[in-house]
Amino acid sequence: MLFSFGRKKVDLVAIALGNPGARYSTTRHNSGWILLDSAFPDMDWSNDKYLSSEIAIMNYGKHRILFVKPQTSMNLSGEIFKPLQKHYKFPPDGIVVAHDDIDLPLGKIKISHARGDAGHNGLRSIARHFGSEYTRVRIGISSDNGDGKVIKPAVLGKFTDSELEQLLAQRKIFAKIISTLATAGHAMTMNLFNSKYEKD
């Protein structure tokens, strides 16, 4: 059944954060968009003017995933949540947000649930409009100096070609994380995937 009380029913809403515009396409702040597009290259994207977003729907087995790329600026990402809740019906724990994380080194992905914004402007906007009860796929964008500490770059700086290659190498694990969130929920997904990486 696709409709419930006039709203489209989905099992998971996967939101990737980024800034629209060609000049931002390979910046570190857009790592969520970069990985999403690489992990799911055959998605049929359309513009949803009510969400101010590009959206696509994928059926994964019996599960329906709504992918969202807000076309607001990063700092206004939370503005999509009111129309999202109006037009779509999803489980209480059915929101996942993929975003760049300056506290993690490039090549590392961590999954968290119900955490603060850690100074991320997009997450701060989401907290204002929706709260913090959602799952985060945190994509590392910083350099690792070899002793466990990261060198934090400018989030609007562009990836070098070698850095972009290192980011894109995570596309398969990113796709598995999203599909597992849809089928097994955030607790199981965190147990399965966070153990693959060292603790942050």
In order of their start, the domains of the chain are: 3-196 (3.40.50.1470)
What Cα–Cα distance (Å) separates residue 33 from each residue in 7, 97, 185? Answer: 26, 11, 22
Q: Are the CB atoms for 109 and 174 separated by under 8 Å? A: yes
Distance CA 172, CA 40 (A): 9
pLDDT tens for the chain, 200 residues: list them: 333 446 899 999 999 999 999 999 999 999 999 999 999 999 999 999 999 999 999 999 999 999 999 999 999 999 999 999 999 999 989 999 999 999 999 999 999 999 988 889 999 999 999 999 999 999 999 988 777 788 888 999 999 999 999 999 999 999 999 999 999 999 999 999 997 654 44
Closest CA to 171 of 33, 25, 15, 23: 33
Distance CA 174, CA 176 (A): 5
pTM: 0.92
Distance CA 24, CA 9 (A): 32
Q: Known catalytic residue: 29?
A: yes
Given the residues 29, 99, 120, 186, the one annotated as active site: 29
Distance CA 32, CA 161 (A): 17
pLDDT at position 119, please?
86
